[in-house]
Homo-oligomer: A and B are copies of this chain.
């Protein structure tokens, strides 16, 4: 993998691990809980992607850098952070958007390298980006936020389409990755700063009317 992409991936791993650790802190979990939430948020999506693709052992077993980064991040959070508000401001959302973008293109690329069709690559990119956060929310007993609000997964889908589209137009891999990352990042940042959401699909529950 290209160095820039690899370093971006590690950066995204740290950001996602922080978001998991913050969720654990809100529920007053013990150190193991913090570690688990940091871990599933950071590598949960990629793990399921690799398991369904048959890319086993999954990526963090082959390259233990991810596991060490998650442990260090969780430890640093517990030792250093007392006031989570500093970490949940705008700049953290921007970092999260960057992580989302890089996870998306890496996931899509991995699917393609296993011979999957473009529609599957888009799906796998989206899964890599959002599934970790979704499992985090399930463990915290919340209806996953990503299923309900904001343009989050949509940014991944668009990024995946841009990536597979660029490749089918015979663009080289790295420029296609960078373009797709820019697309995901831009869409996500616009959604954050203008509070954009897609309209909800709201059905009355069956009991009413």
Whether A81 is near chain B, meaning CB under 8 Å from some CB there, is yes
The smallest C-beta distance from A21 to any residue of chain B, in angstroms, reads: 8
The smallest C-beta distance from A162 to any residue of chain B, in angstroms, reads: 17
Chain A 119-160 against B: per-residue CB contact (8 Å), 1 yes, 0 no?
A: 110010000000000100011111110111110111001000
Q: Given A54-B56, A84-B206: A198 and B61 within 8 A (CB)? A: no
Number of identical protomers = 3
Selected interface stretch from A27-35, A95-103, A175-183: A27-35
Do residues A30 and B116 form an inter-chain contact, with CB atoms below 8 A?
Answer: no
Do residues B140 and A140 form an inter-chain contact, with CB atoms below 8 A?
Answer: no
Whether A5 is near chain B, meaning CB under 8 Å from some CB there, is no
Whether A68 is near chain B, meaning CB under 8 Å from some CB there, is yes
Do residues B84 and A147 form an inter-chain contact, with CB atoms below 8 A?
Answer: no
Q: Which chain A residues have a beta carbon within 8 Å of chain B's beta carbons?
A: 21-22, 24-34, 36-37, 47, 50-54, 56-58, 60-61, 64, 67-68, 77-78, 81-82, 84-85, 88, 111, 114-117, 119-120, 123, 134, 138-144, 146-150, 152-154, 157, 197-206
